Structure 1
Amino acid sequence: MTAVSLNVNGRRLSADIEPRTHLADFLRESQNLTGTHLGCEHGVCGACTLLVDGSPTRSCITYAAACENAEITTIEGLDDDEVATELRAAFREEHALQCGYCTPGMIVSARDLVLRLETPDEETIRVAMSGNLCRCTGYVGITRAVQKVITDRRGRGIAAIPGAGRKRLGPAGSRNASGLAPAAAAPQAVKAQAKPAAKAAAASGAPRLDEDWKPQATLSQTFTVSHPADEVWAFFGDIRGVASCLPGASLDSVSEDGHVEGRMRVKVGPISAEFGGVADVTRDEASRTGTINGAGKDQKSNSATRGLIRYAVSKAEGGGAKVDVDVGYALTGMLAQFGRSGLVQDVANRLTAAFVQNLEARLAGGDAAEAAPVKELDAGSLVFSVIKGWFGGLFGKLFGRR
């Protein structure tokens, strides 16, 4: 347990908590401050936004222990705040809320805009509020409400406050950085022998393939192929052939040293993404093991993915080949909301089944493109099949299956 002391809505609090406790969970579960809502729990939707030392902060990804002695202000602490009061009235007048789930975070973020934005430009407001997602309103009323409050306050002679009065820089809650941050040291020249994947990643905007990267989650898969292990291992050396077995994948270039550049097309409901990325592929002939170290980014959704795949090919009992795969991955941006480990595992099972089917066809002399003419990975249909399977199992248990 870790002892933590916080100033919450003007009241001093001390508690012993697990080091991993997030600020939102601490406030909701132990302090009954349930006005801070939890949505995506990835720092994406903004429903959990509150103030830490005066700065809007995603409390679902902020550790409570990291905010030692910080000033925490939740939506409940803004009951008598002048700007928040005006915003609540404007939200009502402009019909800027429906279900209200996102509203506490919206008010906190909008309050910061009202304090520091000089002119009520609609585009600027929309961009600044884009970190708070709403599933109901379409944002028109929200934009008008924020614009109205800014216009009214400037009309009354209340000037904008640069930086909303914040004088510190640094992580929210750190309280250890004042004034301007020191200028960063000039980066060292890139060595000539740097990996080509790192260069391409930097050029494309994809995450770098850093050696010390640690995955957010991992999953393991094992599958068997009816063809000999020697044949399967040899096929895995054909990077283009392997990519042709995976729906949505295409390669732009493959170098002799195992550097790959390509893309993966994914569709999740109305969201279509094309992850352009790079990878380094290595193989050990003696142990029949290999690694794929890759990263990619979709410019439209600003989603990024990072992964490290390790696989091993061996003889299966009764003949054929056994393939063991371990995947470490991280997903950020808009598509991170589909990154729950249980959902990813089920989708991975279905992807593996499709890959094995195409692999069998290729090894048998067929064409994987004919077996699965899919130009993009429709994760939405996969997710739907997962949910359908869950409900089918549930109803089977409830009605008739014993």
Structure 2
Amino acid sequence: MNMLSINVNGKSVSADIQPRTHLADFLREKLNLTGTHLGCEHGVCGACTLLVDGVPTRSCITFAVACQQAEVTTIEGLDEDEITRELRAAFTREHGLQCGYCTPGMIVSARDVVLRMDAPTEHDIRIAMSGNLCRCTGYVGIVRAIQQVVRERRARGIAAIPNGNRTRLGPSGSGHAAAVAATAVAPAKLVDAPQVGNAQAAPVAAASLKDTNWKPQTSFTESFTVAHPVGLVWDFFANIGGVASCLPGASLAGEPVDGHVNGQIKIKVGPISAEFQGVADVTRDDATRSGTIVGAGKDKRSNSSTRGLIGYSVKQGEAPDQTKVDLTIGFTLTGALAQFSRSGLIQDVAGRIIAVFVQNLEAKLSHRAEGGTGDEPAIVKEFDAGALMRTMALDYVKRAFGWLFRRK
């Protein structure tokens, strides 16, 4: 692993990454900057184009570690850029986009043309933009949009910058080669990972979970009630292993250490079987009977990653022997399984998973009330989301037929 320190869209970012990680993958999977699109992944189509130290760069073939200490600007970082705003409006007027997949890279490259070419002809623009491919438009609207922005800016007295703010020769980010070399020379500090049985568990990367800038893609709330006193429920929630065992497919790789824990969760969606392995930070507040679980994990088979936060509070229910638990859930899912992350679908799935969790929780609390430890096996150990999807599809068909017959 290499420590990468770069500036992305005006914010300093540091992370441990594999040396082979490409800049586009780092931005999309670690920072959730999905405006940078991946097309050919060979540096040919231009969909992944962004700015490194102000220079258009193919991020799909640029190693992230080669950009150590560089200034990286993605399409998200150009929201308030004057040239980009004018190009967006011109692309709209001239019908310079259709499906939009190539558009982020097109805009970045077009911005460079507007910035450095004084009065380009149609031929000049086509040559300059030849590294950005579009399967939809035929390029006529794109060329007209760029010509229009160049013409309007020159008419306002805004001159071109011949070198486009390029201050050095060599590949993008090469001006920081000294910083990269210095980093490479420093010996890596080895840390012994904790032992779990005969296997070695991955070290807990707690620092990576404390990113205050992270915002989940999807957030929602859920509540449920169990027929047990508040004190019993709150005490049980202190048993992280017991709580994890209530969640189908979840298990811990060892005992929690200072609120940090390694674990995994298995999910099956039809023929797709994923096993997310990761870490979590767990905090509790006895005064308010509330807590948080912040976790991150990755499934090696599908190369999907997830990060999430669960906030919970335990309250007195309507009856003396009832407890209400309120949940706030936020998460981000990237990779091949991101197709299942639509908020409506996930909320329905989460509601059903929570129903299974409550069933297991009720059973364990009943065992504890009868003198058990609460570590007894869960009633439902596995969860097949594929079967759940089929049930949801059947419910949808029933609702559709109900609506149709009501109209008649």
Structure 1 residues not aligned, in runs of 5+: 7-12, 16-22, 39-46, 56-63, 72-76, 89-102, 106-165, 171-177
- 8 Å CA contact 2:202–2:262 kept in 1: the answer is no
Structure 2 residues not aligned, in runs of 5+: 1-78, 118-122, 137-168, 195-199, 368-373
**Cα gap change, 1:211 to 1:179, in 2 (>3 Å):** closer
SS, match of residue 330 in structure 2: strand
How far apart, in 2, do the equivalents of 1:266 and 1:67 lie?
A: 47
SS, match of residue 265 in structure 1: strand
**CA shift at 1:50, angstroms?**
5.0
> Which residue matches 2:237?
236
- 8 Å CA contact 2:204–2:262 kept in 1: the answer is no
**CA shift at 1:180, angstroms?**
6.1
**CA shift at 1:276, angstroms?**
0.7
Q: Does 1:267 align with 2:339?
A: no
How far apart, in 2, do the equivalents of 1:277 and 1:340 lie?
A: 22
How far apart, in 2, do the equivalents of 1:347 and 1:399 lie?
A: 28
**CA shift at 1:372, angstroms?**
1.0
- 8 Å CA contact 2:219–2:328 kept in 1: the answer is yes
Greater alpha carbon shift after TM alignment, 271-280 vs 180-189? 180-189
SS, match of residue 353 in structure 1: helix
**Cα gap change, 1:34 to 1:53, in 2 (>3 Å):** closer
How far apart, in 2, do the equivalents of 1:218 and 1:323 lie?
A: 17
Q: Does 1:378 align with 2:381?
A: no
SS, match of residue 293 in structure 1: strand
Matched letter for residue 210 of structure 1: K
Aligned length: 279
> Which residue matches 2:366?
364
> Which residue matches 1:397?
403
SS, match of residue 326 in structure 1: strand
SS, match of residue 393 in structure 2: helix
Matches within 5 A, 1:1-400: 4-5=82-83, 14=86, 31-36=94-99, 50-51=105-106, 104=135, 169=172, 183-184=179-180, 186=183, 203=203, 208-216=208-216, 217-319=218-320, 320-365=322-367, 369=377, 371-374=379-382, 377-400=383-406
- 8 Å CA contact 1:245–1:355 kept in 2: the answer is yes
- 8 Å CA contact 1:244–1:368 kept in 2: the answer is no
Matched letter for residue 392 of structure 2: V
Q: What's the C-alpha RMSD, in Å, of the aligned pairs?
A: 4.8
How far apart, in 2, do the equivalents of 1:54 and 1:354 lie?
A: 51
**Cα gap change, 1:191 to 1:291, in 2 (>3 Å):** farther
**Cα gap change, 1:367 to 1:2, in 2 (>3 Å):** closer
With the length of structure 1 as denominator, give the TM-score of the two structures: 0.56
How far apart, in 2, do the equivalents of 1:310 and 1:379 lie?
A: 23
- 8 Å CA contact 2:262–2:279 kept in 1: the answer is yes
**Cα gap change, 1:68 to 1:212, in 2 (>3 Å):** farther
The sequence identity of aligned pairs, in percent, is 43
**Cα gap change, 1:5 to 1:258, in 2 (>3 Å):** closer
How far apart, in 2, do the equivalents of 1:293 and 1:67 lie?
A: 44
How far apart, in 2, do the equivalents of 1:251 and 1:67 lie?
A: 54
**Cα gap change, 1:311 to 1:5, in 2 (>3 Å):** same
**CA shift at 1:336, angstroms?**
1.3
For residues 179-238 of structure 1, what are the alpha-carbon distances to aligned partners after superposition, in whole Å with 9 as ceiling and x for unaligned?
66663474999999xxx9xxx998588992124142222211111111111111111111
How far apart, in 1, do the equivalents of 2:348 and 2:113 lie?
A: 37
**CA shift at 1:307, angstroms?**
1.2
For residues 85-135 of structure 1, what are the alpha-carbon distances to aligned partners after superposition, in whole Å with 9 as ceiling and x for unaligned?
xxx9xxxxxxxxxxxxxx939xxxxxxxxxxxxxxxxxxxxxxxxxxxxxx
**Cα gap change, 1:201 to 1:27, in 2 (>3 Å):** farther
- 8 Å CA contact 2:254–2:261 kept in 1: the answer is yes
